[in-house]
Amino acid sequence: MTNTLRMQVLVGTRLARGQIRTALRNPLERLVDERKRMTALVREDGMERATAAIAGTDPDRQAGDMRVRAGGPAKRVGGQLTTRPHADAVQDEVLIHTGRVEGEQPGHAVDVPLPAGRMTPGVVRRGGQSLRPMGSWSGAVHEYLRHLESVGFDAAPRLLGTDGRREILTFVEGDVPVDPQWTPGRGSRLPSYARSDTSLVAAARLLRRLHEAARRFQPVNTEYRFHPHPPRPGEIVSHGDLGPWNTVYRGGVPAAFIDWDCAGPVEPVVDFAAAAWEFVPLAPPEVLRQSGFDPVPNIAVRLRLFADAYGIGDRRTVVPALQHTRLLTADRIKYAPLTPAEAAENLEFRAQELRWLHAMVTLLDSELAS
């Protein structure tokens, strides 16, 4: 058997050489490239034709036009990519992922690839279920999800079981803003409902509900993805990667959190600060404009709004916690499969965030103290 045939046996005859190169690249680069490629594919062929190519039903595939499966039937509305008509149009780079499948026959559920998240690619929808690749941390996450279900927290998917190396969760209906052009340091483009004060307040209240549901959780399995350890005094287990991209919106407000792979022990105020950084979001004006804010809001006022909606006990703890979250994100870089240059670039970005935060301390403290 030739080397070429061996490669075909290993990766399948449907995988083109360009995809093989992509599969061997850094996983973080692959996620960014996949988002860009999906957007370009839709622009080039139109959503219906692109969907057919992705799903493997386009006759062009026989002519070598091989494309990774990445979505289900969808429509373009006002420059916005969505699987159903949506009144809130922003720009071409925003994908509102709903996971709805048009024309799916009862009893014949098919695997519909969903847009890749920032941490875990390869997620698919099968009817009312979501199938996700598992890792060494999955057992600990499953125990946590079972606890949340047992105490009545309904804003997380339910664990249904496993299928080989994939976990099976309930599919959470709603809209998830996905920016296929996002990279670290660039604002993640958001639809207007995700930028509203109403949405910000709802996110804070949902976070508080999660923290209350987690307070009595005493895990047996503590093999979490980052810094695996049992919760220390004052810590709870929480989501670990909260932001609009991991939030399901219904009626324009957060209704559930998804993608729990980064769950682990954390102090509640630090988890609050990490969520505030992303939902407010805390960023310089140019980044806020990239996210769709026009005019640029007073982020100190939005931070206080988020704190009040959450019910933070002592606002003086917020700014130190914000600093702590940036240091934690920098520490996570060591877990990513990066080259020395890529690791340096990521560390430099975190350093820029810390310098910006230092320049904002007086303004943030003043608003939080008022």
pLDDT in tens, 261-312: 999 999 999 999 999 999 999 999 999 999 999 999 999 999 999 999 999 9
Q: Give the residue from 37, 100, 94 showing the smallest Cα distance to 66.
A: 37
Name 161's bridge partners.
168
Q: Give the residue from 181, 246, 249 showing the smallest Cα distance to 42.
A: 181
- In this prediction, residue 108 has a pLDDT band, given cuts at 50, 70 and 90, of low
- Summarize pLDDT for 12-64 with one digit per residue, the tens: 433 333 443 343 344 444 444 444 444 443 344 443 333 333 333 333 333 33
The residue that leads in pLDDT, 202 or 123, is 202
Q: What is the pLDDT of residue 275?
A: 98
Amino acid of residue 254: P
Q: Given this structure, which CATH class describes domain 196-369?
A: alpha beta
Strands 80-82 vs 95-97: parallel, antiparallel or unpaired: parallel
Cβ pair 133, 165 in contact under 8 A: yes
Strands 176-178 vs 159-163: parallel, antiparallel or unpaired: unpaired
The residue that leads in pLDDT, 75 or 222, is 222
- In this prediction, residue 147 has a pLDDT band, given cuts at 50, 70 and 90, of very high
Query: How wide is the angle at C-alpha 33 spanned by C-alphas 31 and 35, nearest 5°?
Result: 70
Domain boundaries, the chain: 15-69, 196-369
Name 155's bridge partners.
none
Reduced to 3 states, what is the DSSP secondary structure of residue 56? coil
Q: Scanning the structure block, which residue is given the tokens 């946590």?
A: 144
Q: What is the pLDDT of residue 205?
A: 98
CB atoms < 10 A from the CB of 251, how many? Answer: 10
Q: What is the pLDDT of residue 111?
A: 86
- Rounded to two decimals, the pTM is 0.72
